[in-house]
Amino acid sequence: MQLALLSGFVVAGFAPLLHRWFGARTPLVMALLPAFLAAWLMGLWPNVTSGETLLLEWAWVPGLDITLTFLIDGLSWLFAMLITVIGALVLIYSGEYLRGHRDLPSFLVVITAFMMSMLGLVLADNLVTLFVFWELTSLTSYLLIGFNHTDPDSRKAALQGLFVTAGGGLALMAGLVMLAMAGDSWSLYELVQRGEVLRDHALYTPMLICLLIGAFTKSAQFPFHFWLPNAMAAPTPVSAYLHSATMVKAGIYLLARLHPALGGTDGWVITLSLVGALTMVTGAFLAIHHTSIKKLLAYSTVMALGTLTMLLGVGTQKALIAFVAFLVGHSFYKGALFMVAGILDHETGTKDVTAMGGLRQVMPLTAVVAGLAALSLAGLPPLLGFVGKELMLAAVLEAVDWRPLLLALALVAAILTLAAAAIVALRPFFGRRQETPSTPHEPPRAMLAGPAVLAVLSLLFGLMPGLLDSLASVTVAGIALEGGEGGAAEVHLALWHGFNLPLLLTFVSLLLGLLVYRHWDTLRTWLARLDPLMKRGPEAGYDALMAGMVAFAYWQTRMLQNGYIRNYLVMTLLVLVGLVGHALFFRHAPEFDLVLSVYLHEAIVVGLMVAGGVSACVMRSRLAAVAAVGVMGFSIALTFVLFSAPDLAITQLLVETLTVILLVLVLFRLPHFATLSTPGERLRDLVVASLTGGLITLLMLSVLAGERLPRISDYMIANSQPLGHGHNIVNVILVDFRALDTLGEVFVLALAAIGVYAMMRFHASSQWTQPSPRKNDDD
Amino acid sequence: MTRTGTLILNVAARLLLPLQLLFSLFLLLRGHDEPGGGFIAGLVAAAAFTLYLFAHGRRAMSEMLKVSPRDLVGMGLLFGVLSTLPAWWNGEPFFTAQWWTIPVIDFKASTPLIFDIGVYLVVVGSVLMAITALVKTDQHDDES
């Protein structure tokens, strides 16, 4: 199955080719991939709902304990299902939304790759694999957010999203490493069973902080929430996908996954509850501040993410059930609403809700879909959003810590969200018909299909929440604290819980929410006075940080990389001498016995080498200096021959030849030595050179003298033929034993060549002209 | 820099190029058992083309090479990465060497060989890229 997932990346690569074959229907064809994966997941339904945990094992890099094992239980099944189903709908939708767009093929490549990365993230069992997919989602979402790459705002938003999430990714990596160290395993499946050990470990607090930074940045929790609304610069299918079911839920997924391992402590409960509640209110408050429909929805997503985090913080069984119901509900209605927003934008030519009105008459179907989804967002019966919100309020009423504060914040958020839902559903469709930049009419079927399916699903699961019972049971059992109360209890979701406090709260929020909606326009002008304060929010901090980093980079580049290659060389050599010298003298005292038994021919070769080195230093002509260095190089090759290392000798000879050629090519372009170094500089160079040479000599002698460590070459010699099927040990090491290193080196070589090429091109195009000593009669 | 002229160099480069390329292939293929290997073979091939470049000029060398050195680098990297994949097919860890014997000529093909070919291409491409970049700029200077 891992192959099926990886094949998704291959399919992504073939998108341009498919586009040539199928033209505008390509998105429909591509949608078959997530549809197939969803069907496969559906086939696992009986296993998953019976509480089974499927581990599809596959070693990837066993030497480093990295596996491509997939872990499928309730939680990952749920996420994978949302990703594939909404992914298929979004692909169908994007075919219409981006019809005829020049960059449609590249869009398909990236969004499919993103989909696969996201799937890999939620299915990965290994921490390293999880991290790799996590970073892949950051990278692909960067490309998706910056899809309109000619627009500077769009590029800026994409970069901001990347910096925030990839920056958090660094913290996450540190956290994951600590997690693996503390739990002595890289497998999530094993780690979640070692909660006791992890929570008592000395690394618990730093580990928790790092993991939370990673999850909070990805899931746009306060104070990192600002990147998400800015990411609305992306085309709407991207927003519908990334910000309903996928990208931003990755952090939530991680938190839920780690809840049994790390949750339940004071640090976890308080941080998650408070950060979540704060994010929830901030999101809801900022949502009604905006008139752009996409921004409004983006902030309500921030609100939903805050709610989910808060529920994980509260962590009781009720809270976890609410978590599952709210998660599913939110993915459905938010995906639908984003797609409706895209339809409105597409049809009317504006994103501003205050500029729309009375669209109900021209787009009745869209109005119905929007209405259903918005009812779910508002948390009103009989939709799934209502089930989720009721459970959320009930869970908050039972919270152990900070109950009054959480309840107050949850109520405020509910009121404001209801107002936001009313704005989205009522404002564009009801009221007086307004003139819009383009004349709206009902969108094509393919565009309406996605939101309609999601809205109907919201309604279906709202009327029959029992359908989710078995899934919710196993998911809650999977993420509940081990030994916590009633982890394996049966879950019964219901629309109607009788007259109770949550229902009363819903009623109150309905009244107050409609009140807010009625006075929205006055409220907004009033809120506009807060603008100066808003400008000083976390985003200002981000901007200041970025500006500071650029200034620092500028400063240190001018300090360290001033363009004089001799300074680089001196710096590099001094660092080498410092580090190696420290290790040699302070950690292993150098000991050696100097035995001088030299043959005559060896002495001659060494003499040649020394002569070459000295003459290179004193020559006044560049060409002669190059020749002298060449003599030294060839003598070194000769040494290799004398000590029977033919491979090294051949390599050295060839490298030396080509180096001389390259140097000569460069030298022809330079003027004659204009100024020779001052005596002071020469002295400095002499000191550095002697230090380096002396140290390396000492190092060699002490390596030869005592065999402190076992020689690795013995293993290579013994196993070269049996394991590598080759007699040439050097080659077997290069292409078999150490092939990964070689692969890295080959990439470095390619990069260096590209660097040289780019640098020469840059010079060629600039006004850097130098009289060439020879005429070119190439042409 | 790319100066044509001396008859001996011209003729020698023309005659030596195929020999040097053959030799580089020889080094590449025997590298697993005897001194040789992709890196060395790549350097030999690069040197051969460089000699040809000095004798006949950049344009003639590009025509002889047929593909751009940049593409050689890309192809080499691709070969390198592709050679890691067959192990997956057999359910073995990433990069495990796979060996096949081609029956009629009794030639031992393997993923290390594919990898070595990748190294070979990258080395040839990188060296030629650097050298042609330097030579090209020279030419540009002459024109300006």
Mean pLDDT, residues A289-305 taken together: 88
Evaluate if residue B139 carries a pLDDT over 60: no
Supply the pLDDT for residue B3: 52
Nearest to A658 among B46, B97, B141 (CB): B46
Q: Measuring CA to CA, how many Å separate A323 from each of A81, A476, A566?
A: 16, 9, 61
Q: Does A654 touch chain B (CB under 8 A)?
A: yes
Mean pLDDT, residues A708-718 taken together: 74
Give the gap in angstroms from C-alpha A566 to the nearest C-alpha of chain B.
21
Q: Does B93 touch chain A (CB under 8 A)?
A: yes
pLDDT tier, A263 (very low <50, low <70, confident <90, very high otherwise):
confident
Per-residue pLDDT reduced to its tens digit, A401-459? 778 888 888 888 888 888 888 888 888 888 777 777 777 778 888 888 888 999 998 88
Evaluate if residue A391 carries a pLDDT over 80: yes
Subunit contact A735:B37, Cβ cutoff 8 A: yes
Q: Is the pTM above the cut of 0.80?
A: no
Mean pLDDT, residues A578-585 taken together: 88
| Of A666 and A310, more confident | A310
Supply the pLDDT for residue A764: 54
Instruction: Compute the distance between CA of residue A403 and CA of residue A405 in angstroms, rounded to an integer.
Output: 6
ipTM above 0.85, yes or no: yes
Best interface-test mutation with B: which of A731, A745, A774 has the largest number of B CBs within 10 A? A731
Supply the pLDDT for residue A492: 73
Q: Does B115 touch chain A (CB under 8 A)?
A: yes
Q: Does A555 touch chain B (CB under 8 A)?
A: no
- Residues in B closer than 8 angstroms to A777, CB to CB, are 3-4, 57
Supply the pLDDT for residue A694: 92
Give the number of other CB atoms < 10 A from CB of residue B102.
9
Instruction: Compute the distance between CA of residue A313 and CA of residue A255 in angstroms, rounded to an integer.
Output: 9
Inter-residue contact A286 to A319 (CB < 8 Å): no
Supply the pLDDT for residue A174: 93
Supply the pLDDT for residue B142: 43
Instruction: Compute the distance between CA of residue A308 and CA of residue A406 in angstroms, rounded to an integer.
Output: 13
Subunit contact A776:B2, Cβ cutoff 8 A: yes
Inside any domain, residue B2: no
Instruction: Compute the distance between CA of residue A159 and CA of residue A142 in angstroms, rounded to an integer.
Output: 7
Q: Measuring CA to CA, how many Å separate B119 from each of A648, B76, B85?
A: 16, 6, 16
The token pair at A125 is 């069992």
pLDDT tier, A349 (very low <50, low <70, confident <90, very high otherwise):
confident
In sequence order, which residues have a C-beta less than 8 Å from that of residue A440 and are 6 or more positions away? A344, A347, A348, A359, A362, A363
Q: Does B103 touch chain A (CB under 8 A)?
A: no
Inter-residue contact A347 to A420 (CB < 8 Å): no
- Residues in B closer than 8 angstroms to A654, CB to CB, are 40, 43-44, 47
Inside any domain, residue B53: yes
Instruction: Work out the mean pLDDT of chain A and round it to a whole number.
Output: 84
Nearest to A753 among B39, B130, B144 (CB): B130
End-to-end CA distance of chain A: 58
- Residues in A closer than 8 angstroms to B46, CB to CB, are 658
Inter-residue contact A65 to A58 (CB < 8 Å): no
Give the number of other CB atoms < 10 A from CB of residue A714.
9
Give the gap in angstroms from C-alpha B89 to the nearest C-alpha of chain A.
10
Helix (H) or strand (E) holding B72: helix B69-82
Highest mean pLDDT among A173-182, A355-364, A751-760: A173-182
- Residues in B closer than 8 angstroms to A1, CB to CB, are none
Coil, helix or strand at residue A248:
coil
Q: Does A538 touch chain B (CB under 8 A)?
A: no
pLDDT tier, A772 (very low <50, low <70, confident <90, very high otherwise):
very low
Evaluate if residue A770 carries a pLDDT over 50: no
Supply the pLDDT for residue A214: 92
Kindly report the backbone phi and psi dihedral angles of residue A145, in degrees, each rounded to the nearest multiple of 5, phi listed first.
Answer: -65, -40
Please state the domain extents for chain A: 264-532, 564-704, 721-754
Inside any domain, residue B1: no
Q: Strand ranges (DSSP E) for A139-220?
A: none
Count of domains forming chain B = 1
Helix (H) or strand (E) holding A318: helix A317-348
Give the gap in angstroms from C-alpha A274 to the nearest C-alpha of chain B.
44
Mean pLDDT, residues A326-354 taken together: 87
The token pair at A488 is 């394996």
Mean pLDDT, residues A46-71 taken together: 78
Q: At what angle do helices A565-582 and A679-705 cross, to 10 degrees?
A: 30
Q: A675-707 burial, b for 16+ CB within 10 Å, e for fewer? A: eeeeeeeeeebeebeebbeebeebbeebeeeee
Residue A352, beta-bridge partner list = A292
Inside any domain, residue B49: yes
Q: Does A64 touch chain B (CB under 8 A)?
A: no
pLDDT tier, A488 (very low <50, low <70, confident <90, very high otherwise):
low
Mean pLDDT, residues A721-743 taken together: 83
Supply the pLDDT for residue A575: 93
Mean pLDDT, residues A172-196 taken together: 88
Could you check whether the bond before residue A237 is cis, i.e. omega within 30 degrees of 0? no
pLDDT tier, A102 (very low <50, low <70, confident <90, very high otherwise):
confident
Give the gap in angstroms from C-alpha B37 to the nearest C-alpha of chain A.
6
- Residues in B closer than 8 angstroms to A725, CB to CB, are 32, 97, 99, 108, 110
DSSP, res A678: P
Q: What is the DSSP string of A446-490?
A: HHHHHHHHHHHHHHHHHH-GGGGHHHHHHHHHHHSPTT-TTTT--
Subunit contact B35:A646, Cβ cutoff 8 A: yes
Evaluate if residue B122 carries a pLDDT over 90: yes
Supply the pLDDT for residue A487: 47
Supply the pLDDT for residue A490: 66
Subunit contact B70:A757, Cβ cutoff 8 A: yes
**Lowest-pLDDT choice from A60-74, A315-329, A663-677, B30-44:** A663-677
Q: Measuring CA to CA, how many Å separate A107 from each of A26, A101, A113, A146, A690?
A: 11, 10, 10, 11, 58
The token pair at A232 is 């609305």
If you measure CA to CA, which chain B residue comes closest to A757? B133
Supply the pLDDT for residue A195: 82
Subunit contact A754:B118, Cβ cutoff 8 A: no
Name the residue type at position A111.
I
Mean pLDDT, residues A474-503 taken together: 70
Burial (CB count within 10 angstroms: exposed 0-12, middle 13-18, buried 19+), residue A493: buried
Instruction: Compute the distance between CA of residue A442 and CA of residue A360 in angstroms, rounded to an integer.
Output: 10
Supply the pLDDT for residue A64: 72
Give the gap in angstroms from C-alpha B144 to the nearest C-alpha of chain A.
7
In three-state form (DSSP H/G/I as H, E/B as E, the rest C), the secondary structure along A418-450 is HHHHHHHHHCCCCCCCCCCCCCCCCCCHHHHHH
Q: Does B12 touch chain A (CB under 8 A)?
A: no
Q: Which of A142, A150, A343, A163 is nearest to A240 (CA)?
A: A343
The token pair at A766 is 């600039």
Please report the number of interchain residue pairs, chain A to chain B, with beta-carbon separation below 8 angstroms.
179
Q: Residues 235-294, chain A: which have Cβ within 8 Å of B?
A: none
pLDDT tier, B76 (very low <50, low <70, confident <90, very high otherwise):
very high
In sequence order, which residues have a C-beta less than 8 Å from that of residue B46 and are 6 or more positions away? A658, B123, B124, B127, B128, B131
Evaluate if residue A767 carries a pLDDT over 50: no
Residue A188, beta-bridge partner list = none
Supply the pLDDT for residue B136: 66
Subunit contact A742:B115, Cβ cutoff 8 A: yes
Mean pLDDT, residues A289-315 taken together: 88
pLDDT tier, A345 (very low <50, low <70, confident <90, very high otherwise):
confident
Subunit contact B37:A63, Cβ cutoff 8 A: no
pLDDT tier, B141 (very low <50, low <70, confident <90, very high otherwise):
very low
Per-residue pLDDT reduced to its tens digit, A18-31? 888 887 788 888 88
Nearest to B47 among A657, A665, A668 (CB): A657
Give the gap in angstroms from C-alpha A198 to the nearest C-alpha of chain B.
30
Give the gap in angstroms from C-alpha A612 to the nearest C-alpha of chain B.
24
Give the number of other CB atoms < 10 A from CB of residue A708.
9
Q: Residues 18-57, chain B: which have Cβ within 8 Å of A?
A: 31-40, 43-44, 46-47, 50, 57
- Residues in B closer than 8 angstroms to A778, CB to CB, are 2, 4, 57-59, 139
Q: Does B78 touch chain A (CB under 8 A)?
A: no
If you measure CA to CA, which chain B residue comes closest to A658? B47
Percent of chain A scoring above 90 in pLDDT: 14
Burial (CB count within 10 angstroms: exposed 0-12, middle 13-18, buried 19+), residue A105: middle
Mean pLDDT, residues A524-535 taken together: 76
Best interface-test mutation with A: which of B81, B138, B144 has the largest number of A CBs within 10 A? B138
**Lowest-pLDDT choice from A77-91, A476-490, A534-548, B63-77:** A476-490
In sequence order, which residues have a C-beta less than 8 Å from that of residue B1 and are 6 or more positions away? A665, A668, A772, A774, A776, B134, B135, B138
Evaluate if residue B137 carries a pLDDT over 60: no
Nearest to A756 among B74, B119, B129 (CB): B129
Give the gap in angstroms from C-alpha B83 to the nearest C-alpha of chain A.
10
Taking phi first (over 0 means left), then psi (-120 to 50 degrees means alpha), and beta for anything else, what does residue A594 get? beta
The alpha carbons of chain B give a radius of gyration, in whole angstroms, of 18
Kindly report the backbone phi and psi dihedral angles of residue B108, in degrees, each rounded to the nearest multiple of 5, phi listed first.
Answer: -90, 105
Give the gap in angstroms from C-alpha A607 to the nearest C-alpha of chain B.
27
Give the number of other CB atoms < 10 A from CB of residue A246.
28
Domain coverage including residue B60: 7-143
pLDDT tier, A675 (very low <50, low <70, confident <90, very high otherwise):
low
Supply the pLDDT for residue A574: 93
